[in-house]
Structure formats: structure tokens, C-alpha cells
Amino acid sequence: MKQNKTYDYGDRFIELSDGTSIEFNHDQECSEDVYADLSSLDNTGFHEDTTITKDNLKIEFVEGYGIRINGYGIACYDIQNGYYNSDITITVQNGGEVIYKKEFSVWAYGSQFVDDD
């Protein structure tokens, strides 16, 4: 199976050579800093992982750390006074099709997915 190469790490965006993109977005309200630290993926082998598809994509939150995508950890941070929202939306697209979109909360004591209700 052909392996991916990561060809773009931005502050909120990862793009793989197979056309998969992973975006992390926080709707800024004021001076809070809520983000996924994509440098957590440096030297992990993530960029060499097999193609990400709807069938093999697994995203989970890790309490006290952030999230894990297909087993690779990404630290998430929420730096603020506690007044503003702590949500990050993860959107994964492959070939222009959204294959995953979910919001989760990052806070001082861990992360949790936000209910869709």
C-alpha cells in the first residue's frame, strides 16, 4: 500500500499527499488560545501512515492530553481565564469529501467530545 507524505503542517491544518486534509478550528471570542499542537506529530511516523479513509479513520479524545488520530497523539491546549469557549472542531476531508467532522472541548483537566444534541 502506498504511504502518505505530509507536505503541509500549518497552525491548524495538515495536508497529506493522498489528498487527505485535517483541519482544527476554534472560533476565537477574545484573547483565549485554544489549539491542537500539531508539532506533537513530529518524529512519530504519522506522515508515513497508510492512506486515511472513512473506513480506517479513528479519532478519540485522551483525557488530560488531547486527541489521538489512528493511534497518533496530538496535544491540545486551552489557555484562558475560563470565561470563553474551549471547543475545537476537527474536519477531515479526503478527495474534497468531508469524511469526519466533530467538535470537542479542551479544558484544563482534559478533553471531551461535545454531544450532538
Instruction: For residue range 29-67, list pLDDT tens digits in order.
Output: 888 888 888 888 888 888 776 668 889 899 998 888 889
pLDDT average, residue stretch 10-29:
84
Q: Give the domain range for residue 10.
A: 6-113
Number of domains forming the structure of the chain: 1
In a domain, 1, yes or no: no
Measure the CA–CA gap between 47 and 14, rounded to whole angstroms. 10
| Among 17, 97, 78, 58, CA closest to 9 | 17
Q: Do the Cβ atoms of 91 and 97 come closer than 8 Å?
A: no
In a domain, 30, yes or no: yes
In the sheet where 33-37 sits, what is the strand order? 33-37, 72-79, 66-69, 59-62
Q: What percent of the chain has pLDDT over 70?
A: 78
